[in-house]
Amino acid sequence: MSSRRAFIKSSSIASIGLISLNQNLYSLPGNSNRKIRISLNPGAVGINCSARELLELAIKYNFDSIVPFVSEFQEMDQEGIDNYIEKMRENRISFDVSGLPLQFRTNKNQFDKGLITLNNHCKVLNKLNVKGFNTWIMPTNNELTYLKNFKIHQERLKECAKIIGDHGMKLGLEFVGPKTLMSRDQFSFIRTINELRELIVAIDEKNVGYQLDAFHLYCANHSVEDLKFLKKEDIIMCQLNDAVLGRSRDEQLDLERELPGKSGLIDTSPFLNFLNNIGYEGTVSAEPFNKELNRMNNEDAAKATYNAMKSSFENAGIF
């Protein structure tokens, strides 16, 4: 997710809007109360750590899942990987999906090189039993009209999906909802789940699904009713965030959010109950891009993140 922060900050940005919904997480083995797993994505909550430090934080603060650090696992020998996986198993921790490791928005030459990297990552993640990848769709472009941009996304993400599918994994796509972001470039693009659905249908690969963020649902003015077409297997991963007080829905900024439940602008219970009711068995993580959280040390940031996520689940009656 830090890549989107860099992407957005690389050009001039106006304001950005956010929205709210409820979500569920993967369930731990032996946990009869919920199937959804609370995941720790360190970069999204200002935690700077190694793979081993991440696992220790997850164990200490009761997370169910963690993101895989592919580069570190590429450097580990088999014994190191086996020991890591065994420690995860002992503590009933699973891997979340991994960020798509290539830039599909740039020139064709860079994209083609990125496909090689993607294939290499697939080989590593297969050994770790990671379920797939996720990436986000930028809602504007300064050079491409909607249709031209749609065609590039359709063709390139289809190529990615085929490679990922050859390894038995899935690809989750996320729309970015803040209305304030729409003024950054000349041409608008996908910023609602309806438009994202059109892209996924056009890609036409069975292993392509949705990454849902309560903040983007809120910003796009979606409700749970807009999600009723989804089945549990369509959802690759989810995120819970809250909006910032003092701003309307349309004034929210993409890179300024709160941990779930902080402002109360986004009621995540309907979203979580929807996920729970359809039997979703994936992960839910927080991605607030929050300065206050970023200033905390790793321990405090992990604790605050878990407590906020747990509280949201408790409020939804599914913890």
| Cβ-contact 157, 170 below 8 angstroms | no
pTM of the entire predicted model: 0.89
For residue 114, pLDDT over 80 is answered with: yes
Beta carbons within 8 Å of 262's beta carbon, 6+ residues apart: 242, 308
Q: Tell whether 55 is covered by a domain.
A: no
CA 226 to chain centre: 19
pLDDT over 60 at 35, yes or no: yes
Residue 175 lies in a domain: yes
d(CA 133, CA 130): 9
Q: Is the pLDDT of residue 6 over 90?
A: no
Q: What is the pLDDT of residues 65-110, one digit of tens each?
A: 999 999 999 999 999 999 999 999 999 999 999 999 998 998 999 9
Phi, psi of 286 (to 5 degrees): -105, 145
For residues 260 and 20, the answer to whether their CB atoms sit within 8 Å is no
Which CATH number characterizes residue 13's domain?
3.20.20.150
Domain region containing 262? 2-47+95-315
What does 1-67 look like in DSSP terms, one character per residue? Answer: -HHHHHHHHTS--------------BPPTT-SS--BEEEE-GGGGT----HHHHHHHHHHTT-SEE-
Q: Average pLDDT, stretch 227-256?
A: 97
The rounded distance, in Å, linking the Cα atoms of 309 and 284 is: 9
Handedness of CA 199, 148, 13, 2 (dihedral sign): positive
In a domain, 305, yes or no: yes
Per the document, the length of the chain is: 319
Distances (CA, A) of 114 to 110, 239, 250, 312: 6, 26, 35, 37
Answer yes or no: is 270 within a domain.
yes
The secondary element (H helix, E strand) that includes residue 110 is helix 108-127
User: Cα(305)–Cα(286) distance, rounded to whole angstroms?
Assistant: 7
Ramachandran area for residue 297 (φ above 0: left; ψ -120 to 50: alpha; else beta): beta
Residue 173 covered by a domain: yes
What's the CA gap between 74 and 81, in Å, rounded? 9
pLDDT tens for residues 246-284?
Answer: 999 999 999 999 999 999 999 999 999 999 999 999 999
| 228 in a structural domain | yes
The total of structural domains in the chain comes to 1
Is there a domain that residue 262 lies in?
A: yes
Return the bridge partners of 17, or none: none
Look at residue 303 and tell me if it is in a domain. yes
